[in-house]
Amino acid sequence: MKTFKLENEPKIKSGFKTPENYFDDFSEKVLQQLNEKEVKVIPFYKRKKTLWTAAAAVVGFALLIPVINNYRANSTDLDEATLENYLSYHSNISQYDLIQKLDDSDIEKLGNDVTLEDETLEDILATSPNIEHLISEQN
């Protein structure tokens, strides 16, 4: 690699030049320009409009928060009775469709043993017209 010597290389001249005596009266020119600028005054009545608008926006949002919370709470919650009625009256849903939709937590809940008294079991079997169907589902 070739050695580079800064002192021996030709210098590039800058394309910018300052006029003569430019910095002698520079501070005076700047001070004159600063004194000529006018300060913009905002009248108080215009400021009142922005304050009233901001206050109205805050009150509006404060009134909308309970309405939005109530809407979200009512729209997402299903009670158990509604869900049970829907499933019982729609006969096109089979038990296999329901099994496919269960997740792990639902399966764990179903795994808990449900104890039935003998009398309750006898009443269910006595009042059910399709005992054969109930027995075949258990197997």
Segment 122-131 mean pLDDT: 79
pLDDT of 53 strictly over 80: yes
Which residue from 130, 129, 62, 136 is spatially nearest to 95, judged by alpha carbons?
136
Segment 36-64 mean pLDDT: 78
pLDDT of 91 strictly over 70: no
CA distance 44 to 53: 15
Average pLDDT, the chain: 77
Share of the chain above pLDDT 70, in %: 82
pLDDT of 98 strictly over 60: yes
CA distance 30 to 36: 10
| Tokens (6 digits) for 76 | 């997402």
CA distance 87 to 98: 9
Q: How far is CA 73 from CA 30, 95, 102, in A?
A: 65, 30, 24
Confidence band, pLDDT 50/70/90 cuts, at residue 74: low
Lowest mean pLDDT among 25-34, 49-58, 79-88, 107-116: 107-116
CA distance 22 to 24: 6
Confidence band, pLDDT 50/70/90 cuts, at residue 58: very high
CA distance 87 to 81: 10
